[in-house]
Amino acid sequence: EVQLVESGGGLVKPGGSLRLSCAASGFTFSTYTMNWVRQAPGKGLQWVSSITSSGSYIYYADSVKGRFTISRDNAKNSLYLQMNSLRAEDTAVYYCARTSVTTSTNWFDPWGQGTLVTVSS
Amino acid sequence: DIQMTQSPSSLSASVGDRVTITCRAGQNISSYLNWYQQKPGKAPKVLIYGASSLQSGVPSRFRGSGSGTDFTLTISSLQPEDFATYYCQQSYRTLMYTFGQGTKLEIK
């Protein structure tokens, strides 16, 4: 079964740091682009960051650029999101998601169950 | 960034109704448009990818159409389990994805 399981969320003070992890299983992790998407309480989905299969290409949403770092360890089938200088507006459920592809398009499937990050003093 | 605008933001309908949700892209995205369904407390799941391809296991009452800048998601006959929030997503700008703001489908 293809599965993604996030961990590492919690309560952190403004200006603090947190590292999220996403453990992948059931597929060849090293061949897929992976992504982080977040959802603030009661709000919509916001793409956060993506990393290609080898880690050669990395992109961030402007709202997190310079503060968040996406990385992966293909030997451990794991995706990470290092979050520094956290702000109240970073409070959200963070999902990891795999990019599925055909020759003509791409989409996110599957998604993990999410991990909640709360930034508050 | 490619802006994605969904309408309506919310919608009330009854079981058995036919409903349509629209999504407009800020520029031509060809058929790089995906639709997701999200239920409260759950992760999103893909319904339609590539504007019109039905994800495996998704009921055939869901249909996606459109290309360029204008897209629609149609549910032909609403079932109780379809009441959820729906999001469109552009995947034209690979690695710089954007979602629509969502459409909440509620029971009338």
Number of Cβ atoms within 10 Å of the Cβ of A36? 27
Would you call B91 and A59 a contact, using CB atoms and an 8 Å cutoff?
no
**Does B94 have pLDDT greater than 90?**
no
Residue among A16, A2, A31 at smallest CA distance from A118: A16
pLDDT in tens, A90-119: 999 999 999 999 988 999 999 999 999 999
pLDDT in tens, A17-39: 999 999 999 999 999 999 999 99
Residue of A nearest to B43 (CA): A113
Whether the bond between A14 and the residue before it is cis, its omega within 30 degrees of 0, is: no
Contacts of A112 in chain B (CB under 8 A): 43
Would you call B36 and A95 a contact, using CB atoms and an 8 Å cutoff?
no
Would you call B43 and A111 a contact, using CB atoms and an 8 Å cutoff?
yes
> What is the reported pLDDT for B108?
86
Tell me the shortest Cα–Cα distance from A75 to chain B, in angstroms: 23
> What is the reported pLDDT for B93?
83
Question: Which helix (H) or strand (E) covers residue A38, if one does?
Answer: strand A34-39
> What is the reported pLDDT for A37?
98
Angle (CA) B14-B57-B32 rounded to 5° is 85
| Higher per-residue pLDDT: A4 or B95 | A4
Q: How far is CA A28 from CA A50, A70, A78, in A?
A: 17, 19, 11
Provide, rounded to the nearest whole percent, the portion of chain A with pLDDT above 90: 98
**Does A81 have pLDDT greater than 90?**
yes
Would you call A113 and B43 a contact, using CB atoms and an 8 Å cutoff?
yes
The answer, for A111 touching chain B at a CB cutoff of 8 Å, is yes
Q: How far apart are CA B68 and CA B71, in angstroms?
A: 8
**Does B10 have pLDDT greater than 90?**
yes
pLDDT in tens, B36-63: 999 999 999 999 999 999 999 999 999 9
Provide, rounded to the nearest whole percent, the portion of chain B with pLDDT above 70: 100
Would you call B101 and A33 a contact, using CB atoms and an 8 Å cutoff?
no
